[in-house]
Amino acid sequence: MALLLAFALLYLALGIGLRDPWPSDEPRFALVAQEMLETGKFWIPHRGGEPYPDKPPIYIWLMALAISLAGSVRLGFLLPSLLAAFGTLALVADLARRLYGARIAWVAVATLLASVQFVLQAKAAQIDMVLTFFTTFAAYGLLRHALLGPARGWWLAAWGAMGAGIITKGVGFLPLLLLPGWAWLARRGEATPLNWKDVGLGLATLVGVVALWGVPMIVMSLNDADLAAYRDNILFRQTGERYAASWHHHNPWYYYFVEVIPWAWMPLSLALPWAIPAWWHRIRRGDARTTLLLSSVVLILVFFSLSPGKRGVYILPALPLLVLALAPLLPGLMRKKGPNIVAASLLLLVGAAFLVAGAGGLFGLPALARFADRYQVSPWHWWLLLALAAIGLLAWPGWRRGGIALALWLAVFWMTWSTIGYGQLDRTRSPRDLMKHVADTTGADAWLGMPNFDEEFLLQSRQPMVHFGRETPAAAQLAQAFHWLQQAPGKRWMLIEKNRKPDLECAALDQARDLGYQNGDYWWLIPGSAFAGCKGEDGAAPVFVVPTATSPLIGR
């Protein structure tokens, strides 16, 4: 087991330092973490000088610590996800060993390590892998008490982990969905009994952990209008309102079952048609482990399905629990013909798809040629797709070992993606080179304004930058930007998308510098002197200064 976990750490760490943060979420968190380090404002996160109310601070604290220890954003921003993924694997390994034995523990770790969504999030600087560590830690503690207990120390540790999960992301309480199944099993004498005293102590522990951050945050917001808005947003809008009346990511109730689980939990999901009857047999036989684990997975899926706003990553905390329920079945399922036929067929399909893409790119298929031109894909990388296709097709094992062959191909894919893939896409997904070119063009001391900003540009800035409020209407941002530029036209520039040309009819666009394509848009760099004929409006929007190492924080 130690060797498997050591391999897992190296496998998941592969690629760290080879790329910058990529949109949409990674640059935002890295920017906020870097700003914490630059300003010393750790208790209430800020993004470009503006309070950032979308998420509580634990994940950003961890990223700031990692960046500080690593000495750079590029080396540090992926470390929290890596360590959280490794911690989750270790918890799953230990709990599987205690529930089923050492052999099944090995199977559980290998299965989780092969799961697409788990590896994807372990290699992404998003908040959900850290959340999953806290929810898995909490589930570990609850299950130690319920099935292997009594273990009241683990019971209280679980509630503490849920509190930490809540101030990582609001749904850190998800392990509480173990309690309905637990109560039912306890009534039948198949789990440690629950009592109100233990529940009360657990709730007090959870509230106490949340209060460690929440109470000082509320006190700090009492006499500051901006911080009061932050407080109300994070306590109410980003929690209950976001769940019950989400304003984005709208998807149908069946979204997770039809559009996410089949690919995100692959190759585990391929075994579900055979696993479900086996689970049902175990539940009817009175297997409390299967009953408790599956009941929580089902309730997590139902919980997120009831909200109108859905993202595939939301259900990641359920994956370790599903793996724990599936692991004891896998040795038998892998000997069955059906699951291996499905896995081998999928491997053939994936290999054929890569073959078509690689050959089409080499022979100049128009759609792929346009893609290659936009994203600077060289012919050599079409050969890479052909190589992945060859590995998939040559690794085809017939119908006997399809599951293992598919898992091994996925491992090759992730190792390729984490090295060559990072190097290929970093220039198109990170504006590092563009922002260096901007600083060289304007001079490092010139100020840069960016209406409707994207965090990756602020993060990669080499010079002082301002923006005009994330939630401010676009017209108000432009009116304030015109006024700001007109105050010092010789030292101030605007970075803006070319598709905003209709909004810039007042400007002398013959002075604009074409920066080409970057991060999904074509860009202009326009000097302040080009806006002399535009009507600016002081106070139309706030002016936020982005605090970076090269841009002193001078206030709004």
- How much is the CA Rg of the chain, to the nearest whole Å? 26
SS3 call for 490 = coil
Rounded to whole angstroms, how far apart are CA atoms 519 and 184?
A: 52
Q: Spell out the residues 6+ positions from residue 147 whose beta carbon is closer than 8 angstroms to its own.
A: 99, 191, 192, 288, 289, 292
Token digits of residue 469: 């409020």
Rounded to whole angstroms, how far apart are CA atoms 60 and 28?
A: 10
Please state the φ and ψ torsions of residue 311, each to the nearest 5 degrees.
-130, 145
Q: What is the 3-state secondary structure (H, E, C) of 373-390?
A: HHHCCCHHHHHHHHHHHH
Please state the φ and ψ torsions of residue 48, each to the nearest 5 degrees.
60, 35
Q: How far is CA 75 from CA 69, 70, 431, in A?
A: 9, 6, 17
Give me the pLDDT at residue 180, please: 96
Q: What is the 3-state secondary structure (H, E, C) of 497-516?
A: EHHHHHHHCCCCHHHCEEEE
Rounded to whole angstroms, how far apart are CA atoms 529 and 87?
A: 55
Q: Which residue has the tokens 């009492």?
A: 222
Got the DSSP string for 83-94?
HHHHHHHHHHHH
Query: Beta 492-497 vs 447-449: how paired, if at all?
Result: parallel
Handedness of CA 13, 17, 19, 20 (dihedral sign): positive
CA 26 to chain CA centroid, Å, is 7
Rounded to whole angstroms, how far apart are CA atoms 346 and 256?
A: 20
Query: Beta 447-449 vs 465-467: how paired, if at all?
Result: parallel
Sequence-ordered strand ranges (E) for 416-512 = 447-449, 465-467, 492-497
CA 22 to chain CA centroid, Å, is 11
Rounded to whole angstroms, how far apart are CA atoms 155 and 199?
A: 9
Token digits of residue 430: 């990170």
Please state the φ and ψ torsions of residue 52, each to the nearest 5 degrees.
-110, 100
User: For residue 51, what is the enclosing H or E element?
Assistant: strand 50-51
Q: pLDDT by residue (tens digit) across 436-468?
A: 999 999 998 999 999 999 999 999 999 999 999
Q: What is the pLDDT along the chain (556 residues), one digit of tens a residue?
A: 889 999 999 999 999 999 999 998 999 999 999 999 999 999 999 999 999 998 999 999 999 999 999 999 999 999 999 999 999 999 999 999 999 999 999 999 999 999 999 999 999 999 999 999 999 999 999 999 999 989 999 999 999 999 999 999 999 999 999 999 999 999 999 999 999 999 999 999 999 999 999 999 999 999 888 888 888 888 888 777 778 777 778 899 999 999 999 999 999 999 999 999 999 999 999 999 999 999 999 999 999 999 999 999 999 999 999 999 999 999 999 888 899 889 888 888 888 887 777 777 767 666 666 666 666 665 556 656 777 777 767 666 666 788 888 898 899 889 988 998 898 889 889 999 999 999 999 998 999 999 999 999 999 999 999 999 988 999 999 999 999 999 999 999 999 999 999 999 999 999 999 999 898 889 999 999 999 999 999 999 999 999 865 444 333 2
Q: pLDDT by residue (tens digit) across 207-228?
A: 999 999 999 999 999 988 888 8
